[in-house]
């Protein structure tokens, strides 16, 4: 659905995106993560055809953002980090304007408004001015404006920032629902725990480049084991790297996180081997690996190399 090919973008004094390439399939929710200044927002703006790449391109549903930016706009909805609403228009007027602005006319506008009101769960508030809505409801209305024309792709830049826990939960539900309706999404966020709720892929950016792209099920939610030592031992990492059937995710002199090929007996063998090798093992505990663990592992892998 989205194919970014060797895309570079430059500001007058610096290159913000450096030969970025990746693909996002249909119906996927891709989490775009990375430190501040990594180029996430610039990348989203290039995919949304709001900026013109210096070189390379992005293809959205078969349409090239460099060649046909306006055609790409029709296929996309984009909610920016700091979005705005027309404060003196009612919820219905905001959605009517969004539908008309995206090319719908006549009865199609009414249908789009009705459907969107249900999708974003604001029917009870449809006659309120947008400035009278809570932060979470404004966020939903902004998403409603972005999806009123039923785009195939939705880009969201930090959609959960400033939301309370209830509003975040609602947002997660809304994004999952949109995914079930076939909308491909790229969500940039710093809140990794929240991304874990709905993302199916993770794209990590650093210094304007793609550091890695992986399925979230590869990175998080999998069972991993945390090895804990009573006294620090600098040889732990090296020893674990030499063992077969073990995937090392993270380690320092006192703690390590690994995946094991095999069942409980593999775990028992690991414990026995550790003790045999002279490590003072306190425990080998089972845990679920989070998206944050996967992200930091990826980032620290780059730092080590």
Partner 1 sequence: MNPELQRNLWLELSPMRLLMMPAIIGLIFAAVWTTWGFGTEAQGQLAAVAAVARSLFFFIVVIWGTWISARLVTGEIRDRTWDFQRMSAISSWSMVAGKLIGGTAFIWYGGAICLVPIIMYTAATGDGGDVPREILFRVGMGVFAHATAFFVSMLAVRRDAASSRLASFFAMAAGVGAAAWVWSVWIGTQDWPLNVQFTWYQIEMALPTFMVASLLVFAAWAIVGNWTLMRHELQIPTGPFIWIGFIVFAMAYYAGQADFLGILDELSGTVNAASKAAGDLANVNGIPDSILASARWAIALTVALSLAYVSILVAPKNWVQLRQIREQFKSGKFAQALWNLPSWGYASIAALFAAIILMTMLEPVSIDVMEGMADDWVFSNLISDGQIDLRPTVLAIFAFMIRDIGIVLWFNAAKRARRPDIAAALTIWVLHGVVPAIFAGATAFTLIGLVSPWPINGDSWMQPVWPALEAAAILFLVAARRRMVRSAG
Chain residues that interact with partner 1, rule: CB under 8 A: 10, 12-14, 48-50, 52, 54, 69-70, 73-74, 76, 78, 80, 82-89, 93, 97-98, 100-103, 145-146, 149
Residue among 101 and 282 whose Cβ is closer to partner 1: 101
Residue count of the chain: 305
At 63, list the tokens: 């349409």
Q: How far apart are CA 117 and CA 103, in angstroms?
A: 18
Residue among 85 and 284 whose Cβ is closer to partner 1: 85
| Nearest distance in Å: CB 70, partner 1 | 6
- Cβ-based burial of 190 (10 A; exposed 0-12, middle 13-18, buried ≥19): middle
Q: What does DSSP assign to residue 121?
A: T
Number of H helices, E strands in the chain: 11, 14
Residue among 145 and 184 whose Cβ is closer to partner 1: 145
| Nearest distance in Å: CB 8, partner 1 | 10
Half-sphere exposure of 110 (CA within 13 A, CB side): 2
Question: Cβ–Cβ contacts within 10 Å for residue 126, how many?
Answer: 15
Residue among 48 and 258 whose Cβ is closer to partner 1: 48
| Nearest distance in Å: CB 141, partner 1 | 12
- In this structure, are residues 216 and 196 in contact, taking their beta carbons and an 8 Å threshold? yes
| Nearest distance in Å: CB 130, partner 1 | 11
- In this structure, are residues 289 and 196 in contact, taking their beta carbons and an 8 Å threshold? no
Residue among 116 and 251 whose Cβ is closer to partner 1: 116
| Nearest distance in Å: CB 140, partner 1 | 15
């Amino acid at each position: 659905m989205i194919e970014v090919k060797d895309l570079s973008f430059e500001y007058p004094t610096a290159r913000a995106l450096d030969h970025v390439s990746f693909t996002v399939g249909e119906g996927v929710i891709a989490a775009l993560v990375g430190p501040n200044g990594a180029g996430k927002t610039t990348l989203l703006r290039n995919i949304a055809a709001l900026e013109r790449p210096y070189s390379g391109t992005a293809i959205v549903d078969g349409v090239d953002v460099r060649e046909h930016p306006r055609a790409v706009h029709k296929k996309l909805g984009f909610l920016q980090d700091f979005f705005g609403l027309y404060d003196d228009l009612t919820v219905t007027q905001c959605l009517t304007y969004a539908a008309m602005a995206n090319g719908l006319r006549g009865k199609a506008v009414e249908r789009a408004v009705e459907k969107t009101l249900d999708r974003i769960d604001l029917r009870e508030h449809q006659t309120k001015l947008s400035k009278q809505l809570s932060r979470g409801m404004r966020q939903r209305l902004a998403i409603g404006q972005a999806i009123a024309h039923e785009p195939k792709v939705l880009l969201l830049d930090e959609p959960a920032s400033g939301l309370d826990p209830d509003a975040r939960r609602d947002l997660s539900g809304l994004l999952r629902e949109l995914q079930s309706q076939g909308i491909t999404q790229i969500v940039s966020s710093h809140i990794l725990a929240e991304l874990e709720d709905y993302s199916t892929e993770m794209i990590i950016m650093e210094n304007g480049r793609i550091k890695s792209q992986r399925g979230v099920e590869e990175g998080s939610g999998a069972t991993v084991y945390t090895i804990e030592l009573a006294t620090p031992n600098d040889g732990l990492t090296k020893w674990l790297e030499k063992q077969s059937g073990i995937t090392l995710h993270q380690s320092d002199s006192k703690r390590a996180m690994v995946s094991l090929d095999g069942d409980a007996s593999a775990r028992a063998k690991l414990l026995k081997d550790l003790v045999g090798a002279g490590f003072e093992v306190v425990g080998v505990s089972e845990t679920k690996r989070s998206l944050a663990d996967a992200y930091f592992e990826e980032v620290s892998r780059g730092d080590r190399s």
